[in-house]
Amino acid sequence: MRVYNFSAGPSMLPLEVLEKAASEMTEYGASGQSVMEMSHRSKEYGAIIESAECLLRKVLSIPDNYKVLFLQGGASSQFAMIPLNLMTKNGKADYVITGQWAKKAYKEGCRYGQCRAVASSEDKTFSYIPELNSADFDKDADYFHICYNNTIYGTKYYKLPETGNVPLVADMSSSILSEEIDVSKFGMIYAGAQKNMGPAGLTVVIIREDLIGEPQAITPTMFTYQTHADNGSMFNTPPTYAIYILKLVLEWIENIGGIKVLEEKNKKKAALLYDFLDHSEMFHPTVMGASRSMMNVPFVTGNDELDKKFIAECTKNGFVNIKGHRSVGGMRASIYNAMPYEGVEALVNFMKKFEEENK
């Protein structure tokens, strides 16, 4: 029996995608081989990666002057690749610190140039998105970096910073494909695939072509965006199977009506869970106000022993990976695209039952 998997990543995939992949596991089409066995230089695989890029461009309405790169190394590798490739004109960049990943990106950026923390929400355990004033931004910065959705702390941006001519760079690992976005407002978007796009091992970069210029002289060949842009993400062997699963996920999104339909589904799931948390006497959300993530919902009881008991009971009853991150404690329900409304509904009903039985 499949459980309801509330993991922050790697996360659950749509059942239809898993079943399709299972049916093609030993033979893809009439190729006589699994996608796992295919040469990335083969005609069959070339069609797969081309289809994945075309579908991603369609689903996210990516403008023609942006390159789509399929890379490896996780989003964490981008913490170095971004300054190495983009911090090349004035050697400066602005960062907003809204969680551990933003903090790590900032720390890594500081190794390659002059990085400045424009604002931070660390004073309240990253439980909100700080107010930003464009007057505080450095007009000479080579880029402005944000973490669009904060997986650990359950916050997201609903209003983008006004950065003018400074390219906005966003880590969208835990929110990409969950809602409509205007790609043209960003200089670059990057995301680890293991939340909403597919299995771990693939990192997607969407970057405006004019930003793929001369990297810093010390930049390794494999860390140069130009290397991958010039070779269609085929400079070396890409994460072939993960790209194939991304293609299936994108087909699934298309089949259910596209990103707008998916966004409405995600809003309903989040509203159901937050509404319960806001009215519960036992469970309390850790994020209040307008910064709440649709994807990651942390909550606590205020009693460590009760939290432990709830997590254990959840696991017994088929609600797995609901333990919160150690820096926040308590619980966290990650309700990515593949989590059905019925899964959130079942969790809420279980929480009501647990609350009644543990008064």
Backbone φ and ψ for 22, nearest 5 degrees, come out as -65, -40
Rounded to whole angstroms, the Cα distance separating 306 from 358 reads: 9
Rounded to whole angstroms, the Cα distance separating 84 from 218 reads: 8
Backbone φ and ψ for 107, nearest 5 degrees, come out as -60, -40
Residue 218 burial by Cβ neighbours in a 10 Å radius (0-12, 13-18, 19+): exposed
Considering only CA atoms, which of 95, 127, 126, 129 is closest in space to residue 110?
A: 95
CB 75 within 8 A of CB 201: no
CB 48 within 8 A of CB 247: yes
43 labelled catalytic: no
Which residues, 6 or more positions from 58, have their beta carbon under 8 angstroms from its beta carbon? Answer: 254
Catalytic residue among 171, 247, 252, 269: 171
State CA 310 to chain mean position distance.
27
State CA 228 to chain mean position distance.
21
Q: Would you tell me how many other CB atoms lie within 10 Å of the CB of residue 74?
A: 16
171 labelled catalytic: yes
Q: Which two tokens stand for residue 77?
A: 């590798």
Largest CA distance in the chain: 63
252 labelled catalytic: no
* Cis-peptide into 239, omega within 30 deg: no
Catalytic residue among 67, 195, 269, 323: 195
Rounded to whole angstroms, the Cα distance separating 202 from 7 reads: 18
Catalytic residue among 67, 94, 101, 269: 101
| E strand intervals along the chain | 4-5, 66-71, 92-97, 114-120, 144-147, 149-150, 155-156, 168-171, 188-192, 203-208, 284-285, 296-300, 319-320, 331-334
Rounded to whole angstroms, the Cα distance separating 63 from 50 reads: 16
Q: Which residues are catalytic?
A: 101, 171, 195
